[in-house]
Structure formats: structure tokens, C-alpha cells
Amino acid sequence: MVEIRKPILVSRAVELVMQNAKLLATETVTLDAAYGRILAEPIIAKHDVPPFNRSPYDGFAVRAEDTVGASGENRTPFKVVEEIGAGHVATKQIEQGEAYRIMTGAELPAQADAVVMLEQTVEGEGTFTLRKPFVEGENISFQGEDAKEGEALIHKGALIHPGTIALLATFGYANVEVAKQPVVGLLSTGTELLNVDEALVPGKIRNSNGPMIIAQLERMGIGHQSYGMLVDDLDACTKTVERAIAETDMLITTGGVSVGDYDYLPAIYERLGAKVLFNKVAMRPGSVTTVAVLGDKLLFGLSGNPSACFTGFELFTRPAILRMMGAENPYMPYMKATLGEDFTKPNPFTRFVRAVWEMGEAGPVAAPAGFNKSSAVSSIARGNCIIVLPSGTRGFTKGMEVNILLLGAEQGVSKWAL
């Protein structure tokens, strides 16, 4: 008899996965290895930024009081006593009517209190004139205006992106404390599967899920440990799954989670004593997506159907991996878009449609990326987003507003509204 499974809402399934994502330890990496990692310590300003008052322009550093009365008819002359390039400091003092030639980024000498841009002067031989007065503090980048020493600037749990790298470098973080990355085991099941370099033979197909998931992991900067492809044999699969769980922090399997005669993952979970968090989700594609926990390890049983497999990874596995690393924004970003085509078939389950979004005249427009069954592989290749069509009895028509999940974004958001 076919087992009856009770579907749970996608939001509940995500919640269950996230609750069971165990926080990994931290490690220290050098700054040049920190890009893409998750910060395990906050970034606190170790000094003021900028660390000294400096010139934001190429020009002349003057005493504002000496510019009083300058006008077009009465240009005020200055004598240049010293030139200060970026990285140098002044060695001379200035008196009334004297100035420093100063370059962008150079420290403002103590006696000067305003900077005149080159364009605001008429230059002579070691001299220049001005046609307007300057006020104290004009054209100065003040010490600490960007960040004050001791200020908490970036949270622990933030993704280290190029901007974060710049901040870390500013404060001299040659080493950074980051979350360890999980060792992710990957195993594809199915007697029908061939390797990429094998010729098609009757009844067989090439394994596309394995390489796809490796790339989905790589897009997150995460490596994998491969357990290859397994034929549908309960004993052999159980052994490999058991070994994989022992050697990794989490395991992704593809295929074998349905209710067919050779879908052995449910039996394997049972044999190993894993607790099944859910084995049916109210979503299309991927309703058979199954997630189990053994000890503190998550076991992702993704559907063998390529579109379902892809979607299952993005909806459940990806945020779980990020949560394991303590990421504060583990969810892929989403935005509103106008539906570019009718999608009239009502669906009792939330539908995730591989789609292409483009900028339309009135804002983003998203249209399905072609053949859209759960078995589809061509639409995954074309898609740059996933349209979310909430469950219900009505269909959706062109022009309606929908949420789209943005694939491949570097930075995520802290919550989803699925």
C-alpha cells in the first residue's frame, strides 16, 4: 500500500530545517582568503577613519582668516611655502598670506584650516590668488567622520563581500575570525544514471543533478565531498549513506525519496534511525523533498527531478548551510515583479516557477523560462529567478504582481515571505 504523506507548508519546512541547522565552529583565515566567508566576530573600528584630518582635493591648504575679503575685484594673493603629497606631512610653518600646496589624501597641517581646490585659483610662480573667502573647516575630510574608534561597524554573521574586505583591511585585520564551512557530502541515486562522459544507452540518462548541485554549492563558495552515483540497491545505498554521514557535516542525496518501489531513502533513514522532519511539502515542484536529522546532521533528500532538485536546494539546503555558519541573512533576496504571462492553472500547492526577469517599462517583469514540469532541465538553464505563485484556487494572469526569488545574489535577506 502506498504510504499517505501529509504535506506541510513551505514556510514551516524552511523553519524546521533552520531550527535543526547546527552552528559550526569558527576558524581564523588570512584576509586574502576571507572573501565570501561569514564573519564570526564583529568589526569594531580600531581607530578613527580617516585617522587624521586630510585634504579631499588637490589644491592649497590655507588659514581661513587669510582669505577674508577676497573677491573677483580684489583677489587675495598667497605664497606657497611647501608641497605636501599624499603620505607626507608638512615640515614648515605658515604665516599670514602663506599656503601649502596639498594633494588629495595628504594630512592637513596643524596651522591650516581650509582647503582651496586648484580650480578655484589662478596660479603664478610659487603663488596663487583667490576670488572668494573660505570658512574654517571648508573642504576638509575630518578625522573620524567615516568611523569613530570603538564603534561597532559590522555584525558578526555578516557576509564578507568586497566592501567588508576594504573595511577589514582599513583596520589592519591581517587575519579574520570566520565561520568554518560545512563539509557537504553529495550522492546521486538512480540505476538509470550515467556519467557525463558516457554515451546514452536505452533507458539511461546522464546525471545532471550531481554536477548542478556542485555548482550551486560553488556559487556559495562551498566545496563538497562526492560519494558518486549509486544504483538503487537498499543495502549498498545504506552503507554509503552511513559512511557519508560519518565523514561529513551534512549530506545531500538526489533521487529515491518518492514512493516508488526503488525509492530507498525513506527506508535508509529508518534503518539508520534518522528523524524525518518532513517528507512532503506543499510545493510544486519538489513536493517529495525530504529532510531528516541524524545526530546533529541534516540529511537533504532532494527529488531526482531536476527542477525539483534545484528548487529544493535553493529553498532549504542553501539557507541551512548559511545558518550553520551563523549567517545573519541566509535567505535569497526577493522582489515584486509583474507576471509576464498567464499561469491559469490553479494549484493547491505553492508553485515555484523557473523564470526570467527583465526590466520592463513600468518595472521588473518575470515570465516562465519555458517547459516547466518538475522534470524540466531546460528551464533551469534559462532561468535567472523563481516566480512564487501562492497556493489557492485561482490562476494567475499576465500583469498580476508576484514575488520573485533572485538567484545567485551575493547578499541575502534575514527573512522570507513565502
Q: Which residues bind ligand AMP (CB under 6 A)?
A: 188, 190, 192-193, 205, 207-210, 254-258, 260, 263, 303-306, 375
**190 near Mg ion, judged by CB under 5 A:** yes
* Residue 189 or 350 having the CB closest to Mg ion: 189
Rounded (5°) CA angle 312-318-321:
130
* Residue 109 or 301 having the CB closest to Mg ion: 301
* Residue 265 or 385 having the CB closest to ligand AMP: 265
Using CB atoms, what's the residue nearest to Mg ion?
255
Quote the cell numbers at residue 257.
Answer: 525519496
**210 near Mg ion, judged by CB under 5 A:** no
CB of 232 to Mg ion, least distance (A): 6
Out of Mg ion, ligand AMP, none, what residue 193 binds, judged by CB under 5 to 8 A for its kind, is ligand AMP
* Residue 20 or 209 having the CB closest to ligand AMP: 209
CB of 257 to Mg ion, least distance (A): 8
Segment contacting Mg ion by CB under 5 A, of 4-12, 144-152, 296-304, 374-382:
296-304
**255 near Mg ion, judged by CB under 5 A:** yes
* Total site size for Mg ion, rule CB under 5 A: 4
The answer to whether 357 and 311 have CB atoms below 8 angstroms apart is no
Beta strands 184-189 and 250-254, pairing class: parallel
Cα separation of 126 and 407, whole Å? 59
The answer to whether 229 and 189 have CB atoms below 8 angstroms apart is yes
CB of 230 to ligand AMP, least distance (A): 10
Beta strands 334-339 and 275-278, pairing class: unpaired
**412 near Mg ion, judged by CB under 5 A:** no
* Residue 178 or 315 having the CB closest to ligand AMP: 315
CB of 217 to ligand AMP, least distance (A): 15
Q: Return the half-sphere exposure (C-beta side, CA atoms, 13 A cut-off) of residue 89.
A: 5
Q: Which residues contact 32 (CB under 8 A, 6 or more apart)?
A: none
Residue type, 205: I
Beta bridge partners of 335: 404
> Shortest CA distance to 286 belongs to which of 300, 272, 306, 303?
303
Using CB atoms, what's the residue nearest to ligand AMP?
304
CB of 290 to ligand AMP, least distance (A): 10
Sequence length of the chain is 418
Q: Which residues contact 344 (CB under 8 A, 6 or more apart)?
A: 395, 396, 397
Q: Is 179 helix (H, G, I), strand (E, B) or coil?
A: strand
* Residue 182 or 255 having the CB closest to ligand AMP: 255
Contacting residues toward Mg ion, per CB under 5 A: 190, 255-256, 304
